């Protein structure tokens, strides 16, 4: 039996635009998904997943999703199981063991589909645990690449390397197309996360932006403008100018909103955080519902979000510098 875990992430800048080759800066945070894998003596797959939200609930499915004991939306369960199936396929391929069967058990402190990189963390930890269980140790570059292939397939060919690279390597990272690197001179940032208890479907939201971009020149310009915000923001980050980073996060949220991937509850939390004195606040991840990330040294934003209608949970998130690890 082998257990690996990998961190979730928040996007300081650049989600969605990164799918079209613009740069993005996600940061790994200290909430992890753990995947335990045990090789079976047949070629079947059984998956159990627990605590896939901050509230905690369980989904269990065997070979047939119909048998699932599920109280989460079916499309999210399908997406989650797609990532697990993809991770297992990658591990079988990497270990040249096409008939390997597994019992897989997932425990996650990262809410599903909420913009904190749950799927990337499950894909990274799942491939790491399953290959190790088969006696193969992948280097981190290959692991990140294989996890990206999983996201690419589940998101029907429209995915960036940002989530999977960040979850594998940890820390603040910069991703632009295939060029992925860590930003080692980033200052510690006072992240506060607000969670509305909901979720967005990444594949659908990515498709929404794709359609807008193909229909309107100004939507394509908006995607490019996000790239400009990221480049300016990355400079501010390296300079340690947290106020400027915050201002640019606000700008980035406005552009994501224009692309239709925010929601009433995300906007409400963003404004509550700003009103409470945040240096900046924006949605994180694919949007549609889920989480916002704000910067605030003080208790002000956390307190304000706790009293904001529609905000179900608030927490501080520390930067995770470790990335994937064996438990």
Nearer to ligand MEV, 76 or 159 (CB): 159
CB of 154 to ligand MEV, least distance (A): 10
Candidates 95-103, 124-132, 157-165, 299-307; binding stretch for ligand MEV (CB under 6 A): 157-165
Residues 195-254 that bind ligand MEV (CB under 6 A): 202, 206
Residue pair 227/14 in contact by the 8 Å Cβ criterion: yes
Which of 5, 12, 13, 16 contacts ligand MEV by CB under 6 A? 16
Q: Which residue is nearest to ligand MEV (CB)?
A: 160
Q: Figure out which of the listed residues 47, 162, 305, 324 binds ligand MEV, where binding follows CB under 6 A.
A: 162
Size (the chain), residues: 327
| Residue 23: C-alpha distances to residues 184, 224, 252, 259, 313 (Å) | 17, 10, 13, 17, 30
Q: Which of 6, 12, 19, 186 binds ligand MEV (CB under 6 A)?
A: 19
The yes or no reply on residue 132 touching ligand MEV (CB under 6 A) is: no
Nearer to ligand MEV, 288 or 310 (CB): 288
Q: Which of 15, 133, 234, 302 is in the footprint of ligand MEV by CB under 6 A?
A: 15
Q: Do residues 28 and 167 lie in contact, with contact meaning Cβ atoms separated by under 8 Å?
A: yes
Cβ atoms of 139 and 96 closer than 8 Å? no
Q: Which residues pair with 59 in a beta bridge?
A: 49
Distance of closest approach, residue 115 Cβ to ligand MEV, in angstroms: 6
Task: Pick out residues in 258-287 that bind ligand MEV (CB under 6 A).
Answer: 285-286
- The number of residues that bind ligand MEV (CB under 6 A) is 14
Closest CA to 58 of 4, 8, 112, 1: 112
Strand stretches in the chain, DSSP E: 2-13, 25-40, 45-50, 58-61, 101-108, 173-176, 179-182, 191-195, 280-283, 291-295, 313-317, 325-326
The reply on whether position 159 binds ligand MEV by CB under 6 A is: yes
Is 99 known to be catalytic? no
Site for ligand MEV contains 22 (CB under 6 A): no
Are residues 160 and 18 in contact, defined by beta-carbon separation less than 8 angstroms?
Answer: yes
Residue placing its CB nearer to ligand MEV in the complex, 162 or 212? 162
Q: Where are the alpha helices (DSSP H) in 112-187?
A: 118-133, 140-154, 162-169
Candidate list 163, 196, 296, 320, residue with the active-site label: 163
**Whole-Å CA distances, 115 to 139, 271, 316:** 26, 18, 15
Distance CA 225, CA 69 (A): 44
Active site residues: 163
Which residues are at the interface with ligand MEV (CB under 6 A)?
15-16, 18-19, 151, 155, 159-160, 162-163, 202, 206, 285-286
């Amino acid at each position: 039996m082998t257990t690996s875990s990998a961190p979730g992430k928040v996007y300081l800048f650049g989600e969605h635009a990164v799918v079209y080759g613009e740069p993005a800066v996600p940061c790994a945070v200290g909430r992890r998904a753990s995947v335990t894998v045990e090789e079976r003596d047949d070629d079947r797959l059984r998956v159990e997943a627990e605590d896939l939200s901050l509230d905690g609930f369980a989904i269990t499915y065997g070979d047939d999703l119909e048998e699932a004991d599920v109280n989460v939306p079916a499309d999210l369960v399908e997406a989650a199981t797609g990532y697990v199936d993809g991770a297992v396929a990658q591990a079988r391929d990497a270990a040249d063991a096409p008939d390997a069967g597994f019992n897989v058990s997932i425990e996650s402190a990262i809410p599903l589909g909420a913009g904190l990189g749950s799927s990337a963390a499950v894909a990274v930890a799942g491939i790491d645990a399953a290959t190790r269980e088969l006696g193969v140790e992948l280097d981190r570059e290959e692991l990140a690449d294989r996890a990206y292939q999983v996201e690419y397939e589940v998101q029907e060919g429209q995915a960036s390397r940002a989530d999977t690279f960040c979850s594998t390597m940890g820390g603040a990272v910069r991703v632009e197309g295939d060029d992925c690197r860590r930003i080692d001179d980033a200052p510690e940032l006072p992240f506060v996360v607000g969670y509305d208890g909901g979720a967005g479907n990444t594949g659908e939201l990515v498709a929404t932006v794709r359609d807008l971009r193909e229909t309107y020149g100004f939507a394509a310009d908006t995607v490019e403008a996000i790239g400009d915000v990221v480049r300016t923001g990355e400079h501010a980050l390296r300079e340690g100018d947290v106020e400027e980073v915050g201002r640019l996060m606000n700008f980035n949220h406005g552009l994501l909103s224009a692309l239709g991937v925010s929601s009433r509850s995300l906007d409400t939390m963003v404004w509550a955080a700003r009103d409470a004195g945040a240096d900046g606040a924006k949605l994180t991840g694919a949007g549609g519902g889920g989480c916002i990330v704000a910067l605030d040294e003080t208790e002000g934003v956390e307190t304000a979000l706790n009293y904001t209608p529609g905000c179900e949970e608030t927490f501080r998130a520390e930067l995770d510098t470790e990335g994937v690890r064996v438990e």
